Every structure is written in C-alpha cells, then in structure tokens.
Amino acid sequence: MAIDASGVKKVAHLARLSIDDDAVEATAATISSILELVDRMQAVDTQGVEPLAHPLDAIQRLRPDEVTEENQREQLQSCAPAVEEGLFLVPRVIE
C-alpha cells in the first residue's frame, strides 16, 4: 500500500498539520515506506490471536467516584490567549 500527494494533504488536514508544498512528495514517499512495513506485518497469519489493545500486560485501575479536583480556573486560564466571563474565547465557530 502506498500514499500519494493528495492522500498526504488529506491526512495533514485531518490532523491540522501544515506541510509545505515542496515537502509533500518526500512525505508521501516516507509514509509509503512505513505502509510497506505494515503490509509485511499484515502478511503474518494472526488467526486465533487476540487483538492487542495495549502493549502493557496490565489492566486498568479504577478510581472511586469522589471529587478530588477543586476549582483551578484562574491558574488554568492563565495560559489561555483570551478569556472573558470565565469562558475561553476562540475564533467564532458556526455549526
């Protein structure tokens, strides 16, 4: 499996990454080589093997339902570019 220039642009857009136009071809080639490796792995017979959800052979610890985080708004908003009336301000979004 390979990826072409338009595929790279689409994936970059979905991930909100900007790629210079003159870097697109080279990126396509790099990603394609990774996909080649994936193709080789795909060829392995995995019949009867449980899909791996996490590389650590451990299970999730659960947390009791108790409030441990108090209001830290002032601190957390200190790094926000714009706030008003306690709200984070962002470029206008319309659905």
- How many other CB atoms sit within 10 Å of the CB of residue 19? 16
Task: Pick between residue 40 and residue 73 the one whose CB is nearest to other proteins.
Answer: 73
- Check residue 67 for interaction with other proteins (CB under 8 A): yes
Give me the least distance between CB of 31 and other proteins, in Å please.
Answer: 14
The three-point CA angle 8-10-13 to 5° equals: 105
User: What is d(CA 16, CA 95) in angstroms, rounded to the nearest whole number?
Assistant: 18
Which of 22, 37, 66, 78 binds other proteins (CB under 8 A)? It is 66
- Does 43 help bind other proteins (rule: CB under 8 A)? no
Q: How far apart are CA 90 and CA 82, in angstroms?
A: 8
Provide, rounded to whole angstroms, the least separation between the CB of residue 59 and other proteins.
5
Of 1, 37, 45, 71, the one binding other proteins (CB under 8 A) is 71
Residue 72 CB, nearest approach to other proteins (Å): 6
Residue 3 in contact with residue 35, Cβ under 8 Å? yes
